[in-house]
Chain A
């Protein structure tokens, strides 16, 4: 088999799925249920294809690289997208343009795959655009809602802005080193104003995608306006990809400039944790709440990146996997609540345990994991993140991070308290959860509970991170 068939297997498969869907669209089109089950099956296959046979190698003159670690990261993303396709079934079934939805979301996923496999700054830029542009369209997919259009508008304007800055940074590097290859651009020994400017520009573009404070301002508006599956995709898949890419950029490409980005990371991490937490406390809308709490989580991810490369890569990759399960579970519950009861206000979760014990327990577990309470996997994820950050030796920095964990405990548990310890103002009917949604929740819960227990997961990631 040619090299590229193996190295690019996920990309090829996703492209194939996109074209299959387009072909169906060209004909009479299928009923939503059929498209959904077709996509689900194909995405499940994709998860397995991403998971197996990941070897180290590069093609097209190092434009495209792959490695076991990248394979694992892609598998995480594939799993996330598969779970998204399983859940939110209420919204999917009703939507008139389901095929387009999946074509767009898979295009974005394809862009993320390429992003992870880039070996060249130009490739990085192109795949970033490929992942972003479909997302702006997706943000608008609540077609009859003004808020959704507003979200799409804000996303595309802000993204265009950050892309411009990124391109500027890349061109500066090209000017300085005459190359766009990852293994060449970072080798300049002189640290002057020139590469610093370029580096900060590039960093800011990814910080923007990761919603690092103060580049986060778009996040809440976009999350709130977009349809829930898109919000989930943005907050889980997109965030995960950007964190992975940032790992590569900082530790592989620009590792020589550590003096530059070390304090940048510390400062942004602190700002992100604190502001994200403070905003999250004030939110009453579930989607906005999840948006801000995920901003705070990004702050913790940045804490780990201050540490040593291998441990940081392991900790972040592990955390993203755990975060995927936890956050997705929270989004799925939010989706069920919104679809069936129109609930967007957190206060209406009061007494959820009495009317919907299953949903309440699932959400509670997800929140426990997000807050980092043992034995949920989120606890171990956070421990590894903070522990890695502790290698940097900044005691006060780790202390503030730990204090922020306490603050986040407050608002996560606030919701658990509402659901479990208070009585509902109005009696709520028992909501019917679709079987596939329930399956996602159970998979996520299993991930939350077992992810922390099975230490070999972490060990495996560590082995492939070296």
Chain B
């Protein structure tokens, strides 16, 4: 059986690090903050790996399927005998996989950050925030109860806010932190309402109870009993829940915060805005997948289209951006779009390839995307700029970084035998089997992926003719290079894991096989993308400019991110400010305030009027006394006699 202590250790270690580093303020703590944080997360990652091993190979499976195991649970708030909120730890294949990814990537980022943030004034605060984030994220995936998950969901949002705004002296960082927080909070409102509806319908907040009620074939009739606008209540709830997930996972049109969030320190981007937090939405949909599949199939369909559309639009934007981190941010958004639509097209049980593929891609993507960000961090560190125009030819001065970055690019582009190939192939196969339009868009997007990633690669590491000066480029320190190598190794080999054996929609092993013939088209397209990138960016001359001029307005629109930011600005600044904010302010100022002032003034006025009664003369006091007594007696007698 699961060992409670070991499992508890996983979230508690980072939390302890958070408390220690955040509250203590001694010099010792400040100097060793990095080591303390990393040590704590090392224990956590070790525990997570052990738990994963135990779960998958010792106690997790029974009767050919992996069970959901409720490790521990206690009643937190009891409202009525029926309604209560519990707190608990739930292990299932998805949660265990997420646990490993989070703690492992967090460990890499911790180690990398020690050198990256050396000399920073708020060194210990940085690590305490990292600890808080890791704790919240781990607790989020282990929650047994949707309300409990919501709490950690918000905590994750808070720690993301803190980390994006870590360089709080920079106005742009503060603005980005606020933007991210407000947009995700806005989306979380949807999640909260969704949770409440769901809880109302299911009479419980436990995942197991909700899934047990709505997550099987017979539940469809239950959910269609009450409907609004032709959509059942459960579907509304699941749509709202998905909005929350879309906010965190930067799905169109709620994605605008993610590129700006790159204002945070680069390791943070690697951890939060590439590998872990942004996939929380995918995790949420996966967690409630049976409910989506059986009780809200139309929402699942919507998820597929939102996912694939986000993937496409982000890939197009990524082709035009010149800030290295923004390109990576859009690529993240695009890849999460892949995971989302893969869930959207998935079936259940035997047909659940999409589900498995989505989780597989989440798993591999975490490795190569974190690797890309960490490499980008080193490059930025050396060039002192985010702009790709300031880079070029770094291949010679940073050979190891170059190799790592190349591996990551190959992986994300889907070139065999790197990890991304396997997971992306599965996603495409799932889409091919169940939804052809999605498949074609996805195929095109994956070609674009190869193009923009290698555009980045050529601009940074090759293309030596262009670069402006020859700074003394150096590799990072050992603490930074080791995570790079580990992640690079992961990006190479992790695709070989028979993922379907472990993670599937119903817990039963899913046989996944490689269709070589099917893979030809995607791989060829990827190679085409790479060659286009090479032709454009790894050659002397002005080819990129020529092409962009020839594309004209399409290029301009993509460069300006399709003006989605501007639409949001218009909506918030013009519509909401003028339509709601200003009238509300007027009402507050002229009606509420006036009423308050009036009542205050009239009370004070009355007070000064009756003060004369208090004259200080005892005779008068006696008179008042007697008068009151007699008057009361007379009045009472009058009333009693009348009745």
Contact = CB atoms under 8 A, between A and B. Distances in A.
B628 A263 contact: no
Contact of B611 (A162, A201, A279): A279
A416 to B, nearest CB: 17
A167 interface: no
A200 B614 contact: no
Contacts of B600: 410
Interface in B617-639: 618, 620-622, 624-626, 628-629, 632-633, 636-637, 639
Contacts of B603: 277-278, 281, 407, 410
Contact of A204 (B606, B607, B625): B625
B461 to A, nearest CB: 59
Contact of B618 (A154, A215, A264): A154
Contacts of A191: 640
B640 A259 contact: yes
B611 A282 contact: yes
A22 interface: no
A161 B618 CA distance: 10
Contacts of B633: 193, 196-197, 200
B518 to A, nearest CB: 64
A92 to B, nearest CB: 29
A434 interface: no
Q: Which of B636, B637, B640 has the most CB of A within 10 A?
A: B636
B622 A196 contact: no
A260 B632 CA distance: 10
A260 B636 contact: yes
A174 interface: no
Nearest to B607: A278
B629 A196 contact: no
A161 B610 contact: no
Interface stretch (A23-31, A217-225, A301-309, A381-389): A217-225
A183 to B, nearest CB: 24
A54 interface: no
B540 to A, nearest CB: 68
B183 to A, nearest CB: 33
Contact of B629 (A153, A204, A278): A204
Contact of A279 (B614, B618, B620, B632): B614
Contact of A263 (B614, B624, B636): B636
A217 B620 CA distance: 9
B236 to A, nearest CB: 36
Interface of B is mostly: helix
Interface string A31-53: 00000000000000000000000
A275 B609 CA distance: 11
A79 B629 CA distance: 35
Nearest to B606: A278
Interface in A145-198: 153-154, 157-158, 161-162, 165, 191, 193, 196-197
B627 to A, nearest CB: 8
Nearest to B643: A259
A208 interface: yes
Nearest to A261: B636
B81 interface: no
B628 A204 contact: yes
A275 B611 CA distance: 10
Contacts of A407: 603
A275 B629 CA distance: 18
Nearest to A212: B628
B610 A215 contact: no
Contacts, number: 77
Given A220-B614, A221-B616, A281-B604, A200 B629 contact: yes
Contacts of B616: 221
A215 B628 contact: yes
A197 B632 CA distance: 9
Contacts of A193: 633, 637
A61 B604 CA distance: 54
Nearest to B608: A282
Interface string B453-471: 0000000000000000000
A214 interface: yes
A183 B626 CA distance: 29
Given A165-B629, A200-B632, A217-B624, A263 B639 contact: yes
Given A200-B632, A282-B608, A218 B637 contact: no
A277 B600 CA distance: 12
A196 B636 contact: yes
Q: Which of B604, B621, B640 has the most CB of A within 10 A?
A: B621
Interface in A251-282: 259-260, 263-264, 267, 275, 277-279, 281-282
Contacts of A267: 632
B610 A275 contact: yes
A217 B636 contact: no
A279 B603 CA distance: 10
Contacts of A157: 618, 622
Given A217-B614, A278-B606, A281-B603, A200 B636 contact: yes
Given A260-B640, A281-B607, A218 B614 contact: no
A176 to B, nearest CB: 15
A264 B636 CA distance: 8
A191 B643 CA distance: 12
Contact of A215 (B607, B620, B625, B640): B625
A299 to B, nearest CB: 15
A259 B640 CA distance: 8
Nearest to B604: A281
Contact of A158 (B622, B628, B637, B640): B622
A215 B626 CA distance: 9
Interface string B347-383: 0000000000000000000000000000000000000
Contacts of A218: 618, 621
Interface in B580-624: 600, 603-604, 606-608, 610-611, 613-614, 616, 618, 620-622, 624
Q: Which of A208, A217, A259, A410 has the most CB of B within 10 A?
A: A217
A264 B624 CA distance: 16
A12 B629 CA distance: 37
Contacts of A220: 614
Given A220-B614, A275-B610, A282-B611, A158 B621 contact: yes
A260 B640 CA distance: 8
Contacts of B629: 165, 200-201, 204
Contacts of A165: 625-626, 629
A204 B632 CA distance: 10
Q: Which of A153, A157, A214, A259 has the most CB of B within 10 A?
A: A214
Nearest to B641: A193
A410 B636 CA distance: 35
A410 B599 CA distance: 11
Contacts of B610: 275, 278-279
A201 to B, nearest CB: 7
A218 B632 CA distance: 20
Nearest to A275: B610
Interface in B398-451: none
A214 B618 contact: no
Nearest to A282: B607
Given A217-B620, A410-B600, A162 B625 contact: yes
B616 to A, nearest CB: 6
Contacts of B613: 217
Contacts of A214: 624-625, 628
Interface in B247-298: none
Interchain residue pairs A-B with the least CB separation, the first 10: A278-B607, A217-B621, A204-B629, A282-B607, A200-B633, A281-B607, A157-B618, A214-B628, A161-B622, A200-B632
20 contacts: A157-B618, A158-B622, A161-B622, A165-B626, A196-B636, A200-B632, A204-B628, A204-B629, A215-B625, A215-B628, A217-B624, A218-B618, A260-B640, A264-B636, A275-B610, A278-B607, A278-B610, A282-B604, A282-B608, A410-B603
Given A197-B633, A260-B640, 9 more contacts: A158-B625, A162-B625, A191-B640, A193-B637, A196-B640, A214-B624, A217-B620, A263-B639, A281-B607
